[in-house]
Structure 1
Amino acid sequence: MGLWTLLEGLLLIVNAFAILNEERFLAPKGWSLSEVSVGKVKSLKGQIMGIIYAIQYLRVPLIFVNLVFILAKLVSG
């Protein structure tokens, strides 16, 4: 497993977090941002929720990163 394969795997995970729907998947399981209070932001659950919302906020740059990966994959064979 090379560095490129590891980066592709991380990109797939980031893409999965980017398409999560809060009302459908996160809120029924208690993972909505409104349930994470100010005091629990430093908890593991609060940090994971922060990462998920940061990824969802940065969807447009993620599109360009996906394009770079796709073009690199097409060029390399």
Structure 2
Amino acid sequence: MFFFGLGKLFYSIILVINAITILSEDRFLARIGWGRTQQTDPSFGVSYDGSSVKAKTINLISSVRTVMRVPLIVINTMVIVYELILG
């Protein structure tokens, strides 16, 4: 019973990390003003606030996309094999 809950939590975490990783910065994030270019190149008279929640979220998304790309390939492959064998 205890492991059943942890399995669902593990799947949920993997799905959220997958969703963050596949977000396209050009097609989605830049359109809503969450692109990296809007934060690093402020216009004239506007200062960059790196301590805001929005800036920290943008940095988190970028970091997850950079760091988790290769490990997610391995983790997703292991989950697929596990589901195919043990269902």
TM-score normalised by the shorter chain: which range applies? 0.7 to 0.9
Gaps spanning 5+ residues in structure 2: where? 41-46
Q: Percent identity?
A: 35
* Change in 2 beyond 3 A, CA 1:7/1:40: farther
Equivalent in the alignment of 2:29 = 26
2: CA distance between counterparts of 1:39 and 1:23? Answer: 21
Q: Among residues 49, 73, 77, which one is paired with 2:83 in the alignment?
A: 73
Equivalent in the alignment of 2:56 = 47
Q: 2:31 is paired with a residue of what secondary structure?
A: helix
1: CA distance between counterparts of 2:84 and 2:63? Answer: 29
Q: Give TM-score, length-normalised by structure 1.
A: 0.80
Structure number with higher helix proportion? 1
Equivalent in the alignment of 1:2 = 5
Please say which structure displays the higher CA radius of gyration. Answer: 2
1: CA distance between counterparts of 2:7 and 2:16? Answer: 14
1:62 lines up with 2:72 in the alignment: yes
Opposite residue 48 of structure 1, the aligned amino acid is: T
| RMSD value, Cα | 2.0
2: CA distance between counterparts of 1:56 and 1:7? Answer: 19
1: CA distance between counterparts of 2:31 and 2:59? Answer: 18
C-alpha deviation, 1:3, in angstroms: 1.3
The structure showing larger relative contact order (alpha-carbon pairs under 8 Å, at least 6 residues apart) is 1
